[in-house]
Structure 1
């Protein structure tokens, strides 16, 4: 993708993502059936070609590292915060935290991405049945 296309896509995402402010519609993740996501996350994944990001988050939920973190800090079961930070060399770091001032309980290096934004925050809440992946604006 050209730099101009990347910039246009980044502008589109920055403009449209804040308009997702909550919705009752949910989509079930194909691989982790305990994970659902909102229209805002679906828009992000479709528009940015970032289904891999949704898959990465869903793959960590319920993993051994996730379960260890829940045993250490039970708040993680109910709510946790993911962040993707993209570097200038097109690598990225995906992290999950119990809170912004705490160390990450999951860290995943992404060797290459064409994700158009320098960073994105995604939150995950648990309702007793499903982990809902959503944008902060959808809280």
Structure 2
């Protein structure tokens, strides 16, 4: 856990090594997220990021990719990359060297980091979104 008075930075994110609570997504009830992801949403103004990932999980594109690569059914990796012009791209991969199976262009963001990785793991009931440092 980290001090809630800190601002979102790579350093503040590295302090998350576990969670004390899980938060259920309001629309996709199969998605829960950790204290660290809540910190990202609150301090980075990025609840939209959780919403975007939750919207993709279970979508037709997601199901199609999972039918072709069983790894996606258990775990996959999201990355948001923010460009200098404040546009961004959100994508999901089965693993780091693989091609993205979901790509979403973001026309504008004020997200304060250049990039962030969010991992998603399925426990048989829920998809848990968390930071790599929490693994």
Aligned residue pairs total 130
| Alignment gaps of 5+ in structure 1 | 1-7
Mapped partners of 2:133, 2:21: distance in 1: 15
TM, length-normalised to structure 2: 0.93
Superposition deviation, residue 85 in structure 1 = 0.4
More displaced 10-residue stretch of structure 1: 19-28 or 71-80: 19-28
SS at match of 1:137: helix
| Alignment gaps of 5+ in structure 2 | 1-5
Structure 1 outlier segments of 4+, above 6 Å: none
Report the RMSD for the aligned CA atoms in angstroms: 1.2
Mapped partners of 1:104, 1:14: distance in 2: 24
Superposition deviation, residue 79 in structure 1 = 0.4
Q: How does 1:52-63 map to 2 (within 5 A)?
A: 52-63=48-59
**Match 1:51 to one of 27, 47, 53:** 47
Mapped partners of 2:19, 2:129: distance in 1: 12
Q: Determine which structure has the larger helix proportion and give its number.
A: 1
